[in-house]
Structure 1
Amino acid sequence: MLLTASPHGRWRAWRRGRPFWAGTLLLLAGAELVAAPLAPVRILLGLGRGGIAALGLGAALVLAGLSLWFLPHAHHYIGIHAMILAVLAFPATNLGGFLAGTLLGIAGGAMGFAWQPGTGPAPGARTPPPPRAMAAALPLVLLTAHLAPAAPPAARPAAAAVPPAVTTTRFAPDGPVLARVVELPTASGPLRVMALSMRAASLSDYRLRTRDGTGHDLTLGAGTLRLTGRVTLYLTRFSGCVEGLMCLTFTPDGLPVPPLVPPLVFLTDVTAEQALVTSDVLVTDGLDLAAEPRR
């Protein structure tokens, strides 16, 4: 006698053969971004570019969620780009759907990237949660730990009251970036800055221009600059083009950097006001230093 699976069994088999819950989170993220601009035309016009960007990014996240369902073999590619879209939604829309859309998108993209096809447990067998589930939840764990109250940090070195100007053609951090707003001590009092913490970072065509207090402008340049080991950049202003596409400007009191930036995101044509940099190791190629009379 031929036995056929019940509709519930077929549904369960279909769901387990793809990153179903990752796709669901991306659908929710896209719907959350789209919900705010889907208002009367008068309100949509008032939202301006942010409303249009929310519609576009929301639709892209919905498409990413559906792609995880129906194209599970491309889950790595889809997951990475979904996280990038979710981060872009933070500055480009209404703070990423008041942060909910960005967090859902990052979680869904991470789960989609970490998903692996499996054969499933034997009937009646009980297995512990797979390690990849923990990997998928890592971005949310990092964000929760980062936003939770922490012990008072060790005293930071004093920064220049007037941060030097920095330019680089490409800024590529290794791994995720955690961002927050802190205050640095200076000779003129506390200075509010954005603190970007990461495992390592590479900068191309690095140029730093500062003043030495003797009437000269000092220029420090390097063909490449590599920072590794507990890297933190303290910036009062940060401008660049995400993935070379969308150009944004971040400031502590205006638009701060999103609290969690996923891996593989890089910026081009970067200009910044750099109050301080801390790193265990710094490696340069083509270092040069020049002094010019102040104009």
Structure 2
Amino acid sequence: MSAETSVQSAGSFTRLRLRFRDWRGSRPFWAGLFTMLGGVPIAYFPYATLKLGTMSIAMATTAGAGSLIIGVLLFTLGLTMWFQQATRIFAGVAAIVLALVSLVVSNIGGFILGFLFALIGGALSASWAPGKPAADAGRRAASQDPAGDGGAGTAPENAAGGPGEPHPLPDPVHGAGAEDSNGGYRVG
């Protein structure tokens, strides 16, 4: 073993962690995770037999097949959110609908636990939008002065966001096109 061995393994772990962080940041990761976690209790509880001492509790109902189908579909939708970002809105809406259907079909949506996870995952997926590339953010930061107001000598075309950028929306409280410090528009 050399002195560099531990550095290389720490470096590979850091590289893997950073690669995973980049992969996670480019897709609705938490939406997919919550949706998959929501499918597990919905599919599991109708087939589970819980033991409390000598007493066994079985939740076998006539809706067992429906619960299994909903659980598998939610798990599949979660994977779809991860690997097919173009269908994230459809997958989010479908997850919300399946979560609502699970309330009736699957033992109150997997004892509310699966329902809540699937509902949150579907909402996160439907509302997720891909971020802007880092180069675009750096270009916008360089075009503004440190105060963030564009400076007194800013040309009118730069005040509107420059070519290829959306025109700022009027803000009745803070003036036309007021932006916050990170370039997003203020709501109120």
Question: Which of the five TM-score ranges fits, normalised by the shorter chain?
Answer: 0.5 to 0.7
Give the superposed CA RMSD.
2.9
Correspondences of 1:146-225 after superposition (within 5 Å): none
Is 1:17 the equivalent of 2:26?
yes
Once the two structures are TM-superposed, the CA of residue 106 in structure 1 deviates from its matched residue by: 1.1
Distance 1:96 1:61 in 2: 12
- SS for the counterpart of 1:33 is helix
Q: Which residue is equivalent to 1:116?
A: 129
Once the two structures are TM-superposed, the CA of residue 98 in structure 1 deviates from its matched residue by: 1.2
- SS for the counterpart of 2:100 is helix
Q: Specify the code of the residue in structure 1 equivalent to 2:19.
A: R
Is 1:104 the equivalent of 2:106?
no
Once the two structures are TM-superposed, the CA of residue 119 in structure 1 deviates from its matched residue by: 3.1
Q: Which residue is equivalent to 1:47?
A: 60
TM-score (norm 1): 0.38
- SS for the counterpart of 1:116 is coil
TM-score (norm 2): 0.57
Is 1:57 the equivalent of 2:84?
no
Correspondences of 1:69-80 after superposition (within 5 Å): 69-80=82-93
More helix by share: 2
Q: Which runs of 5+ in 1 are unaligned?
A: 132-295
Once the two structures are TM-superposed, the CA of residue 48 in structure 1 deviates from its matched residue by: 2.8
Once the two structures are TM-superposed, the CA of residue 97 in structure 1 deviates from its matched residue by: 0.8
Distance 1:93 1:39 in 2: 13
Q: Which runs of 5+ in 2 are unaligned?
A: 1-11, 50-55, 142-180
Contact 2:46/2:61 (CA < 8 Å) preserved in 1?
no
Structure 1 residues 54-108: Cα deviation after superposition (integer angstroms, max 9, x where no partner)? 1110111000000000101110111111100000000111000111111111111
| Aligned pairs, number | 123
Once the two structures are TM-superposed, the CA of residue 35 in structure 1 deviates from its matched residue by: 2.1
Distance 1:118 1:71 in 2: 16
Structure 1 residues 28-55: Cα deviation after superposition (integer angstroms, max 9, x where no partner)? 1001112213325x977x6232222211
Q: Which residue is equivalent to 2:147?
A: none
Structure having the higher Rg: 2
- SS for the counterpart of 2:124 is helix
Q: Specify the code of the residue in structure 1 equivalent to 2:67.
A: A
Distance 2:23 2:114 in 1: 27
Q: Specify the code of the residue in structure 1 equivalent to 2:43.
A: V
Correspondences of 1:271-290 after superposition (within 5 Å): none
Once the two structures are TM-superposed, the CA of residue 10 in structure 1 deviates from its matched residue by: 1.1
Q: Which residue is equivalent to 1:90?
A: 103
Equivalent pairs: percent with the same residue? 33
Is 1:34 the equivalent of 2:43?
yes
Distance 2:86 2:61 in 1: 37
Contact 2:37/2:117 (CA < 8 Å) preserved in 1?
yes
Q: Which residue is equivalent to 1:7?
A: 16
Once the two structures are TM-superposed, the CA of residue 120 in structure 1 deviates from its matched residue by: 5.7
Instruction: Name the structure, 1 or 2, with higher relative contact order (CA <8 Å, separation 6+).
Output: 2
Q: Specify the code of the residue in structure 2 equivalent to 1:49.
A: T
